[in-house]
């Protein structure tokens, strides 16, 4: 169920917007009349989403700092910056190569760091703004071992997000920094992971079950977060209980 549409349209940047959660989020936010600046590497797919949402498409490789700065300059002034770009991997930790690990950190962590560093000075100057980093349930509960470096990268993103929030919240209460942790989501993400030509089902622990969400359901949760900022959210209602169970078991 959708909440009431916002009264104040915002300028919102979304990275990784050519498909999946990013594209669904662009459609969801466009329906509320927000001005969108959307970014991704795949120009054709990005332009398709831009036409559908009346957004501004900026072809961007978020692993390149200069590209992220160019995106920011084309988007300013910005109210909300959403670091959504990411990529997974299917490879056990003990089999990871240097290239595997570096790619996961670059796509999932450094890209968000570049985004935060690019937009934070603008938010500090204006005294308000909202940074949203899209992480994963696996960054908090790394139970899908075949995702290895992806889990590690998202855990690093979780920590960086908390660090930036701590740095900003005392001096700039009008700036919000939020972490979004989706669980299983029905998108083409699994088909595009490194290290595997076919999707691998998560090896959930006994007693833990999670029904996949649609990208639209995740987009709805993020839209609500924009209207009502919080430090962290799980997009799947089952995730919080699963996380608590996981850490309780570790303490036994």
Q: How far apart are CA 111 and CA 86, in angstroms?
A: 9
Residue 102 lies in a domain: yes
Helix (H, G, I), strand (E, B) or coil at 1: coil
Query: Per residue in 80-119, pLDDT tens?
Result: 999 999 999 999 999 999 999 999 999 999 999 999 999 9
Contact 172, 125 (CB under 8 A): no
The predicted model scores a pTM of 0.91
Residue 5 included in any domain:
no
∠ CA(9), CA(11), CA(16), 5° rounding?
125
Number of domains in the chain: 1
| Residue positions annotated with a catalytic role | 150
- Rounded to whole angstroms, how far apart are CA atoms 29 and 245? 34
Check residue 140 and give its pLDDT: 97
Hey, what are 5's tokens? Answer: 């549409």
d(Cα 132, Cα 84) in Å, to the nearest integer?
8
Q: What is the mean pLDDT of the chain?
A: 91
**Distance in angstroms between the alpha carbons of the first and the last residue of the chain:** 39
Q: What is the pLDDT of residues 104-163, one digit of tens each?
A: 999 999 999 999 999 999 999 999 999 999 999 999 999 999 999 999 999 999 999 999
Instruction: Look up the domain containing 86 and give its range.
Output: 11-250
Task: Flag whether 196 is in a domain.
Answer: yes
Establish if 3 belongs to a structural domain: no
E strands along the chain, which residues? 11-15, 35-40, 56-59, 80-83, 129-134, 175-181, 185-186, 213-214, 232-234
The yes-or-no verdict on residue 181 having pLDDT over 90 is yes
pLDDT for 223 beyond 50: yes
CB atoms within 10 A of CB 125: 9
DSSP symbols for 181-209? E--SEESSGGGG-BT-SS-----PPTT--
pLDDT of residue 183 exceeding 80: yes
Q: What's the confidence (pLDDT) of residue 186?
A: 81
Q: Is residue 134 part of a domain?
A: yes
Residue 16 lies in a domain: yes
Distance, CA of 143 to CA of 160 (rounded, Å): 21
The pLDDT, as a whole number, for residue 3 is 46
pLDDT value of position 1: 41
Residue 31 lies in a domain: yes
Whether residue 195 is predicted with pLDDT greater than 80 in this model: the reply is: no
Output the domain CATH number for residue 46.
3.40.50.720
In a domain, residue 1? The reply is: no
pLDDT at 206 > cutoff 90: no
How does pLDDT run across 39-79, given as a tens digit for each residue?
A: 999 999 999 999 999 999 999 999 999 999 999 999 999 99
User: pLDDT over 90 for what percent of the chain?
Assistant: 83
């Amino acid at each position: 169920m959708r909440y009431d549409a916002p009264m104040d349209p915002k300028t919102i940047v979304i990275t990784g917007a050519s498909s999946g959660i990013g594209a669904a989020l662009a459609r969801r936010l466009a329906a509320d009349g927000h001005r969108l600046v959307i970014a991704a590497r795949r120009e054709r797919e990005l332009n398709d989403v831009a036409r559908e949402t009346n957004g501004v498409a900026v072809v961007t490789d978020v692993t390149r700092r200069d590209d992220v700065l160019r995106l920011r300059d084309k988007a300013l002034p910005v109210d909300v910056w959403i670091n959504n770009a990411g990529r997974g991997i299917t490879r056990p930790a003990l089999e990871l190569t240097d290239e595997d690990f570096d790619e996961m950190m670059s796509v999932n962590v450094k890209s968000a760091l570049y985004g935060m560093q690019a937009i934070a000075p603008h938010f500090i100057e204006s005294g308000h703004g909202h940074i949203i980093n899209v992480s994963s349930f696996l960054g908090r509960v790394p139970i899908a071992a075949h995702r290895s470096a992806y889990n590690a990268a998202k855990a690093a993103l979780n920590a960086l997000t908390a660090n930036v929030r701590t740095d900003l919240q005392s001096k700039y209460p009008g700036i919000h920094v939020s972490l979004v942790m989706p669980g299983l989501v029905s998108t083409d993400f699994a088909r595009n992971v490194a290290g595997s030509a076919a999707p691998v089902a998560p090896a959930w622990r006994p007693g833990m079950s999670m029904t996949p969400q649609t990208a639209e359901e995740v987009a709805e949760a993020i839209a609500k977060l924009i209207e009502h900022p919080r430090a962290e959210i799980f997009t799947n209602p089952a995730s919080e209980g699963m996380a608590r169970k996981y850490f309780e078991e570790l303490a036994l």
